């Protein structure tokens, strides 16, 4: 950012406060005039006293000087208050502007930008800008004006010495100029690096379970040390440059001060100038020195604020990805239905997450998008909410493309319940009211009754005024979901969207929530996204996604009878028995035959094997197996979700798969104890059924004909 661009941006920020800024400018002028006139007064005092010795004149002059000091002091105090007003109000305006701008940004923007970096714009970058307005810029103007007026007075007093002084001033300006440019660039780089350090620290703090499980403490420490080493190197360069920017003018000024005083005294000795003139000249010269020192003192802060302003301007220059088109009209209540027509979409890169999807959602129906992880069902959900716009095709409400309607009206007809619902650290009443800020207390309580959470809230000592805790930490998973349902219902939506709304709950809580959802769905259009097929068996229509394409659509029983993609999904998730708490269960023998490694076993062997599986219950965020450890068991996912992570040298773990109900991992451990090739970590409360290798080997000893067949068939795991 060039100084001219910086000045323009600053003028734009100050423009709403022109009157205050002008008054501060006038008061600044009073200070500059006083500072320049003060040493000039000594010329007349000394020359008059030395020539005439007039006591009355001395009394009047000293009284006038006291008056001038008083006026200048009052002006300085008023000016300081003006700085405080301008700095605080401009900072308030910028904070509001940045925060408001962030509300307009699309979901993609927040996924592409790191949270710590965005927070740094609000904290350190804005703090630098405030410091510039309250002190650095004022010091810069004071120093610049002081130099200009003092230079004029120097020419009035003695033009030859003034020429010598101007030469020194030119050197003070020209010699540090390349240093100033380099320091400005270094300032911006430091702001970026400081943001990277903040991001690294925040990411590390939030990832401690993974770091502890994978033994990544030293890895992240090394990476953090490298980042901070780069920052330290850049900081050394920046600070040294700013010190040079400050030091060079001071050295030049001191050299020229010696020259000016020496030549001035020679002029007095030869009778070319009076002593009062030379003393006044030296006083004005000291004003120049002070002004130069003021400039050099404020330059580091000013240079840092340039980097801060540039980062703020970069953020404000980001265009919202989702916005109301020109002429966008509000959507009325849904009359006929929603339609996806030839919709394709990619989050970035050549691979599309969904391809040419066409489907319809009639008004008042209960439909669900189902499929394996990565099939595209959540992408359809995001397009429906207009978190993103299709790359091709259209999403229409009653025939109106959602891009031609206002975003507020589209989402205003919807109530959304997510898998991980964020509750704010405020009262339960206000958390529910977040769904409709204008809701009355009666509306909040009515929504809570519908969500069947009202009675529980009333048992709390503070009732609806009870705090939810950070991220709803004072509530159980089921209670958080019911508060989230109430938050959606308080909007009185005609369309209810459910995004894996019960997948993180135990079976008992899931069954209870599903009962509530079925009841409140009456009279509404309900659209559910889920990988758990048992929760949408009463849906009017299922849209089955596979590899980003719509594989089939229809009623659950019809799709099951067709034996297609849905039937395969159903088969994979069926065959398990799980208790109400979700911490114990088993598998039916016929289900084991669907797993490749066990498909060769006969029914008696499968029956015997089913009894050997042991339940293992894990909370979310816990590692089940760790890459590199010796495997000793095979796992079936009876209920829950896990991610498969591969640790790469010098890099953070890479996610290579997400597995859910009915999936399996670790089959190679049944054939031989070899190191695990990946780490498996739970994403939700998960119940695994585990078969230890020694139990499997005992089975093979009783059925030796299977051993060689399994060895030929066995794959990696």
User: Which pLDDT value is given to residue 714?
Assistant: 46
Model confidence band, residue 266 (pLDDT cutoffs 50, 70, 90): confident
> Mean pLDDT over residues 384-398, rounded?
92
**How many angstroms separate the CA atoms of 58 and 64, rounded?**
10
- CB distance 298 to 304 below 8 Å: no
Which H helix or E strand runs over 281? helix 275-316
CATH, domain range 337-562: 3.40.50.300
What is the arithmetic mean of pLDDT over 250-257?
A: 77
DSSP labels, 547-579? TTEEEEEE-HHHHHHHTSHHHHHHHHH-SEEE-
What is the C-alpha to C-alpha distance for residues 194 and 556, in angstroms, rounded to an integer? 54
Domain boundaries 577-713, CATH class: mainly beta
| pLDDT at residue number 715 | 39
Mean pLDDT of 498-522: 80
Q: Is the pLDDT of residue 371 over 70?
A: yes
Q: Which two tokens stand for residue 85?
A: 């007003």
CA distance 83 to 86: 5
Binned at pLDDT 50, 70 and 90, residue 717 comes out as very low
Instruction: Give the Cα separation of 50 and 36 in Å (integer).
Output: 23
What pLDDT digit, counting tens, does each position of 517-556 carry? 888 888 899 999 988 888 888 899 999 999 899 999 999 9
Q: Would you state the pLDDT for residue 683? A: 86
In angstroms, the CA 575 to CA 579 distance is 14
Q: Model confidence over 557-604: pLDDT tens digits? A: 999 999 999 998 888 888 888 887 778 889 999 888 888 777 777 888
Note the pLDDT tens digit of each residue in 29-40.
Answer: 887 777 777 666
**For the chain, percent of residues with pLDDT exceeding 70:** 88
Q: How many CB atoms lie within 10 A of CB 613?
A: 22
Residue 716 reports pLDDT greater than 60: no
Share of the chain above pLDDT 90, in %: 19
Give the range among 2-16, 49-63, 385-399, 452-466 with minimum mean pLDDT: 49-63
Using a 10 angstrom Cβ sphere, with 0-12 exposed, 13-18 middle and 19 or more buried, the burial of residue 225 is: exposed
> At 369, phi and psi to the nearest 5?
-95, 120
CATH fourth-level superfamily of 3-316? ABC transporter type 1, transmembrane domain (1.20.1560.10)
Domain boundaries, the chain: 3-316, 337-562, 577-713
- 658 burial via Cβ count (<10 Å: 0-12, 13-18, 19+): middle
Which of the two residues, 289 and 588, has the higher pLDDT score? 588
**d(C-alpha 383, C-alpha 397), whole Å:** 12
Q: Summarize pLDDT for 101-111 with one digit per residue, the tens.
A: 888 888 778 77
Give pLDDT tens digits for 195-207: 777 767 766 666 6
Give the containing element (helix H, strand E) for 658. strand 654-659
């Amino acid at each position: 950012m060039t100084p001219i661009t910086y000045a323009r941006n600053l003028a734009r920020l100050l423009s709403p406060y022109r009157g205050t800024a002008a008054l501060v400018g006038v008061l600044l002028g009073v200070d500059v005039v006083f500072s320049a006139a003060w040493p000039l007064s000594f010329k007349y005092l000394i020359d008059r006293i030395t020539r005439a010795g007039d006591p009355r004149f001395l009394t009047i002059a000293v009284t006038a000087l006291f008056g001038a000091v008083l006026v200048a002091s009052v002006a300085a105090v008023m000016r300081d208050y003006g700085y405080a007003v301008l700095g605080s109000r401009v900072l308030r305006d910028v904070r509001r502007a940045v925060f408001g701008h962030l509300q307009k940004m699309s979901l993609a923007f927040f996924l592409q930008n790191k949270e710590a970096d965005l927070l740094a714009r609000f904290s350190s970058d804005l703090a630098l800008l405030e410091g510039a307005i309250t002190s650095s810029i004022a010091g810069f103007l004071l120093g610049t004006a002081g130099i200009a007026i003092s230079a004029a007075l120097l020419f009035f007093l003695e033009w030859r010495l003034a020429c010598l002084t101007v030469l020194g001033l030119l050197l003070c300006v020209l010699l540090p100029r390349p240093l100033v440019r380099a320091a400005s660039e270094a300032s911006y780089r430091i702001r970026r690096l400081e943001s990277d350090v903040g991001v690294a620290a925040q990411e590390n703090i939030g990832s401690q379970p993974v770091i502890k499980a994978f033994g990544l403490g030293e890895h992240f420490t090394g990476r953090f040390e490298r980042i901070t080493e780069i920052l330290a190197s850049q900081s050394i360069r920046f600070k040294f440059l700013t010190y040079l920017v400050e030091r060079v003018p001071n050295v030049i000024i001191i050299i020229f001060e010696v020259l000016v005083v020496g030549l001035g005294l020679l002029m007095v000795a030869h009778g070319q100038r009076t002593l009062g003139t030379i003393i006044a000249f030296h006083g004005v010269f000291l004003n120049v020195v002070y002004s130069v020192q003021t400039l050099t003192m404020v330059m580091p802060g000013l240079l840092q604020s340039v980097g801060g302003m540039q980062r703020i301007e970069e953020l404000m220059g980001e265009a919202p990805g989702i916005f109301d088109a020109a002429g966008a009209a509000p959507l009325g209540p849904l009359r006929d239905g929603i339609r996806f027509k030839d919709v394709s979409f990619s989050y970035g890169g050549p691979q599309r997450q969904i391809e040419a999807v066409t489907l319809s959602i009639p008004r008042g129906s209960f439909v669900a998008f189902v499929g394996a992880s990565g099939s595209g069902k959540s992408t359809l959900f995001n397009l429906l909410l207009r978190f993103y716009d299709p790359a091709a095709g259209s999403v229409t409400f009653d025939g109106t493309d959602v891009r031609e309607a206002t975003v507020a009206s589209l989402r205003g007809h919807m109530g959304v319940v997510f898998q991980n619902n964020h509750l704010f650290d405020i009262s339960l009443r206000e958390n529910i009211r977040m769904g409709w800020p204008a809701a009355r207390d009666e509306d909040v309580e009515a929504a809570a009754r519908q969500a069947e959470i009202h009675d529980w809230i009333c048992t709390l000592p503070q009732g609806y005024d009870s705090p939810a805790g950070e991220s709803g930490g004072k509530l159980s998973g089921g209670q958080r979901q019911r508060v989230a349902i109430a938050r959606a219902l308080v909007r009185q939506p005609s369309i209810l969207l459910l995004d894996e709304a019960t997948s993180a709950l135990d079976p008992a809580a899931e069954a209870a929530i599903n009962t509530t959802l079925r009841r409140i769905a009456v009279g509404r259009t309900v659209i559910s996204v889920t990988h758990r097929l048992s929760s949408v068996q009463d849906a009017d229509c299922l849209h089955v996604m596979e590899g980003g394409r719509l594989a089939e659509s229809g009623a659950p029983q019809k799709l099951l009878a067709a034996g297609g993609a849905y039937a395969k999904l159903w088969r994979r998730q069926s065959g398990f028995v799980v208790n109400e708490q979700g911490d114990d269960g088993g598998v039916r023998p016929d289900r084991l035959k669907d797993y490749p490694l066990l498909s060769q076993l006969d029914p008696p062997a499968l029956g015997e094997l089913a009894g050997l599986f042991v339940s293992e219950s894990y909370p979310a965020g816990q590692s089940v197996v760790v890459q590199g450890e010796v495997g000793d068991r095979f796992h079936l996912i009876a209920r829950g979700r896990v991610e498969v992570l591969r640790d790469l040298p010098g890099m953070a773990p890479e996610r290579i798969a997400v597995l859910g109900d009915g999936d399996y991992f670790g089959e190679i451990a049944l054939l031989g104890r070899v190191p695990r090739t990946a780490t498996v970590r739970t994403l939700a409360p998960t119940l695994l059924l585990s078969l230890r290798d020694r139990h499997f080997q005992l089975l093979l000893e009783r059925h030796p004909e299977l051993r060689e067949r399994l060895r030929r068939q066995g794959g990696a795991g």
